[in-house]
Amino acid sequence: MKKLAKVYNGLKLYLWCYLPFFAALVLVKMLFSRDDIYFFINSRHTAFGDWFFPLVTHLGSVAAAVVFTVVVFFFSKRESFILAGAYCFTALVNFLLKFWVAFPRPHRYFAQKIEQAINDPRLHGIYYVPGVDVLDNFRSFPSGHTVCAFTAATVLAYFTKNKAWSLPYLAVAILVGYSRMYMSQHFFEDVAIGSLVGIVLTMAWLALTDGKGFAAGANHA
């Protein structure tokens, strides 16, 4: 518990900014259905968003994870190995959750509704961002890109001495999560829980690795 308390102290600003945000997500989910939230977001596409979000979403990709880990390596070998381990740990748990839950992605989910002849005019007006390869499988929950983005944000917020940087790290992770909904790759709850999974598991990883191997003597404010 002492190690977890140490992690909490290193992430206090980050967490107290995230918690009200997550509470708002829970409230939205309590008030509105999966379909209503999806169609609300889907009806708010812009030319800028169609250009911006397909770029931002890559910050939650495997390629970005590799690049971030290599970049951090040149500043701190310890923190680089911790980041790599956090990526692997959260990705493994997320992968298992995806196969266990096996919930359809939006494209498959709404295609099934159309096949069932459900009377909802919104089903025939779904907008897909041009040039985006929309995934169509049963691996929607939780969002892997969101988990990845919040894993990186949490590790960086923990080790950054100037804790004010926690806010842009959190903001970028949120943008990655929103991009997954904007591009019809995930539902609202996939992203909301993905953010929580990323943060909670990363905190557990930071506590687990504290004082061990490359983590020994790691500097953070």
Which residue is associated with the tokens 């959750």? 97
Q: How confident is the model at residue 155 (pLDDT cuts 50, 70, 90)?
A: very high
Residues 65 and 201: their CA atoms lie apart, in Å, by 16
Residues 190 and 181: their CA atoms lie apart, in Å, by 9
Residues 12 and 18: their CA atoms lie apart, in Å, by 10
Residues in contact with 53: Cβ distance below 8 Å, sequence separation at least 6, in sequence order: 129, 175, 178, 179, 182, 183
Lowest-confidence pick of 14-23, 70-79, 110-119, 144-153: 110-119
Residues in contact with 27: Cβ distance below 8 Å, sequence separation at least 6, in sequence order: none
Q: What is the pLDDT of residue 139?
A: 96
Over 80: is that where the pLDDT of 111 sits? yes
Residue range 160-218, pLDDT digits in tens: 999 999 999 999 999 999 999 999 999 999 999 999 999 999 999 999 998 766 555 44
* Separation of first and last alpha carbons in the chain: 19
Q: What is the pLDDT of residue 213?
A: 60
Amino acid at 221: A
Range 2-215 has CATH code 1.20.144: yes
pTM for the whole thing? Answer: 0.94
- Specify whether the backbone of 217 is left (phi greater than 0), alpha (psi in -120 to 50) or beta: left
Q: Could you tell me the residue ranges of all domains in the chain?
A: 2-215
